[in-house]
Amino acid sequence: MDYRKLGPSGAVVTAYCLGTMTFGAEADEAASHKLLDDYFAWGGNFIDTADVYSAGKSEEIIGRWLKARPTEARQTVVATKGRFPMGNGPNDIGLSRRHLGQALDDSLRRLGIDHIDLYQMHAWDALTPIEETLRFLDDAVRAGKIGYYGFSNYVGWHIAKAVEIAKAHGYTRPVTLQPQYNLLVRDIELEIVDACLDAGMGMLPWSPLGGGWLTGKYRRDEAPTGATRLGENPNRGSESYAPRNAQERTWAIIAAVEEIAKARGVTMAQVALAWTAARPAVTSVILGARTREQLADNLGAGELKLSEAEMDRLNEISAPQPAAYPYGESGRNQRHRKIEGGR
């Protein structure tokens, strides 16, 4: 079992985390509990949820599972998030002390616990001073309501500003960032990964399979149909079929993943997940499964270690392609300086 520290903290989690956005929506309570059982039977110990997942139902489903399985509950590292609206009032959203205080208490109630291991800010809030949010989180740590806190969907300057303010005021510092990250979406490497490395924060990538693209389920110029996410909604945000289908890079990456998978006798999903888990700053990769079969396949990535040559090939073919300075090749070269000569 591959255990890793939760960012710079002393807490230890498995390299693959069970994401629960499907709970209460695409998976009912019975199916969700089976997914949890399978994950913990595999050896996992890290669950990620959010208050907005199925309007609180995901947390409630997890809470009832924890209550029914006290032995597993003692070993479980629970992560949830707050920020998005949970009501219609003007204070039912955001990262203010007013909203987070209620959101945290509601999450604790739904989960049926008195302490959340990792409480994450689900997105940046431009209306609330960052000092207010950080002071609330520091107070929550000191009150014993949360063990650690982290961010989700923050960009580089958000991370740097928050870390420096926390240091300046002596507040508890963030330990993780949860970003979108996979072979098809590597833009965070332009600044966000470096910001996390500089702050000592661990990353918890979401959508490591690119909404199913990296499993090989979609075909070129064949609009998806059936019981898949894009089959049900082909215009699903950044995973939309038409824009990605039109990019040569998409199909070059998929072809490389497929070739490596066939050579290794594993699935494409396992190759894509193993690549993500091996990237710098990654603490734990979030798996989002609809079915037990999907979860079992994904967890198989825990037994796969890609060779240096395989990693190099995937890194090269999927490299971000910003052209404009300072993000292009010349800018990257200038940022990496080494001492030359003997002096």
Residues forming the active site: 53
Across the chain, the runs of DSSP E, i.e. the strands, are: 3-5, 12-14, 16-19, 46-48, 77-82, 116-121, 146-152, 176-178, 202-203, 285-288
Here the tokens at position 49 are: 């949820």
Closest C-alpha to 317, from 233, 258, 245, 263 = 258
Query: Which residues, other chains included, contact 305 with Cβ-Cβ below 8 Å and sequence gap of 6+?
Result: 274, 278
Considering Cα of 26, then 31, then 33, then 36, what sign does the dihedral take?
A: negative
Cis omega (within 30 of 0) for bond into 8: no
Distance between first and last Cα of the chain: 45
Distance of CA 211 to the CA centre of its chain: 13
Interatomic CA distance for residues 94 and 135, integer angstroms: 15
Query: Which residues, other chains included, contact 20 with Cβ-Cβ below 8 Å and sequence gap of 6+?
Result: 32, 47, 48, 49, 53, 58, 61, 62
- Which of helix, strand or coil describes residue 232? helix
Here the tokens at position 104 are: 């945290």
Q: How far is CA 309 from CA 184, 316, 318, in A?
A: 19, 11, 14
Q: Which residues pair with 80 in a beta bridge?
A: 119
